Amino acid sequence: MFRTSARQNPLRSSALHLVLIVYTLICVAPILLIIMNSFKSRRGIFGAPLEFPRGETFSLEGYETVFTIGNFPLYFQNSLIVTIVSLLLTVVFGAMAAFALSEYRYRGREILTLYMILGLMVPIRLGTVGILNMMAAAGISNTLTALILVYTAQHLPLAIFVMSELMRQVSDDLKNAARIDGLSEYRILFRLVMPVMRPAIATIAVFTMIPIWNDLWFPLVLAPSEETRTVTLGAQFFIGQFVTNWSAVLAALSLAIIPMLVLYMLFSRQIIRGITSGAVK
């Protein structure tokens, strides 16, 4: 409907595009600024912050600092491990919990659903002290495991909420046909239900992955040591109380965008399908 009316009216269509282009510029500008300035010398950053790097302002000193002084390959590895493992755990356990909540009838199911969803309303940072004590008692502070556990717990509620709503829409007949064919409940979940829900899972993956990758709080509290430092925490290394090495900070941040960009591109086709699946049929 919308597409045809837009096509019939070029004025309206161009106005729409104008609004979208302006909005895109507003969104992209800060990122562009970071990337632009990461290729400048310190003088260039402060002398002409809005200009593209040119002859005398162009410099790779930020990137050189990042790769020589900091231990960035390790930080990247840490961030990737934490993000990907948390993501996998969230999706796998979220799907299993959602299946249990949406598929079976048993006593206390409503209470259990509410309990799971309650996590959406409680800001996890309020529990930082408790979490820190718990991790110390368990002897896993300053490990990536601590971060993975916290992030998985933090993102499970949303995953369960979204997936259990969607699983209700997967045809009962299909699951029953599989039961008659003798498939186990696990295979029904992972081989039949999850593939049907691929767009939803991609959406959940993105909403889980970006906050984990960007998080500064828990790495700072739970895993600040050199070996477990994540990229966001590592970039702080260049921000001092009195002197900040801006070109290095910006270079570190520019690099930090890349993995997320790659993962987003992997998921994006599914996400677009997920977002539009209800609207366009």
Q: Where do contacts with other proteins occur on this chain (CB under 8 A)?
A: 171, 173-174, 176-183, 191-192, 195-196
10 Å CB burial of residue 46 (0-12, 13-18, 19+) is exposed
Gap between the Cα atoms of 143 and 222, Å rounded: 8
Least distance from other proteins to the Cβ atom of residue 91, Å: 19
Gap between the Cα atoms of 202 and 207, Å rounded: 9
CB-nearer residue toward other proteins: 19 or 177: 177
Q: Quick one: which of 154, 123, 137, 135 has its CA closest to 225?
A: 135
CB-nearer residue toward other proteins: 89 or 95: 95
Q: Report the greatest alpha carbon distance in the chain.
A: 73
Least distance from other proteins to the Cβ atom of residue 99, Å: 16
Least distance from other proteins to the Cβ atom of residue 267, Å: 19
Give exposure, 82-117, as e/b (b: 16+ Cβ within 10 Å).
bbbbbbebbbeebbbbbbbbbbeeeeeeeeebeebe
Least distance from other proteins to the Cβ atom of residue 159, Å: 23
